[in-house]
Amino acid sequence: MNKIKIRDRIFEKFLGEEEILRKVREIARKIEDENRGKDIIFLSILNGAYVFTADLLRNINLNVKVSFMKMSSYSGDKSTGEIRRLIGLNEDLRNLTVIVLEDIIDTGLTLEGVIDDIKARGATDIKVAALLLKPDAYKGSRRIDYLGFEIPSDFVIGYGLDWDGFGRNLRSVYRIVK
C-alpha cells in the first residue's frame, strides 16, 4: 500500500520496512563495535521510540539494560516548543553508558530535556541513537552518534510514529501528502 488515509490526511510511503530494518541492524552493529565491554542502558523515549527500541534491542548482542522516559512536545502535527515530562527517570545512571533512543529528532528540544535529566542522574557517558533526523528543523548542537536517516521536515508516521495517536502500527514510514 503506497498511500493511506488517516482521518482527513493522506500519507504516502517514504521508507519501506526492509530498508528500515536493514538500517536498524547497521546501527546495532555500530553500537556493538563502539561499546563492547561497557555496562549499557538504553533509555527509550516514549511514546514513539518503542518500535525502534524493540527492533534494535533484539539485534544487539551485548549486556544491555532498558528503561523508558515519557516526554511530550508535540500536539497533533506541530511542536509546541515546550516539553512535558510524563514519566521521569528513577534510576541511578552513574557508571553506565547511556544510549538515548529516539524515534525522530525534529527541533531537538525533547532530546535536550532528556539529556539534562540524564546528567542530573549522574551519567557522564551519553550517546544518542535516532532512527530519523530532520536536519533543517534541528536546532541542537549535539551530534547524533547513531543515526538511521536524515529526512525532509515533512510530518511522518509509522514505525511507532503517530498522527494524533494513530499510525504507530504501520511497518513502513509514511510522509504527509501536501
How many of the chain's residues bind ligand IMP (CB under 6 A)?
19
Would you count residue 159 as binding ligand IMP (CB under 6 A)?
no
- C-beta contacts of 62-65 below 8 A and 24+ residues apart: 62/31, 62/32, 62/35, 62/36, 62/38, 63/39, 64/40, 65/39, 65/40, 65/41, 65/96
92 part of the active site? no
Would you count residue 109 as binding ligand IMP (CB under 6 A)?
yes
> Closer to ligand IMP at the Cβ: 104 or 144?
104
Would you count residue 59 as binding ligand IMP (CB under 6 A)?
no
Helices (H), the chain: 17-35, 50-58, 109-120
Would you count residue 55 as binding ligand IMP (CB under 6 A)?
no
Q: Which of 39, 106, 116, 164 is catalytic?
A: 106
Q: Which stretch binds ligand IMP (CB under 6 A): 3-11, 58-66, 71-79, 116-124?
A: 71-79
Interface positions with ligand IMP (CB under 6 A): 45, 48, 73-74, 79, 102-111, 155-157, 161
Residues assigned a catalytic role: 106
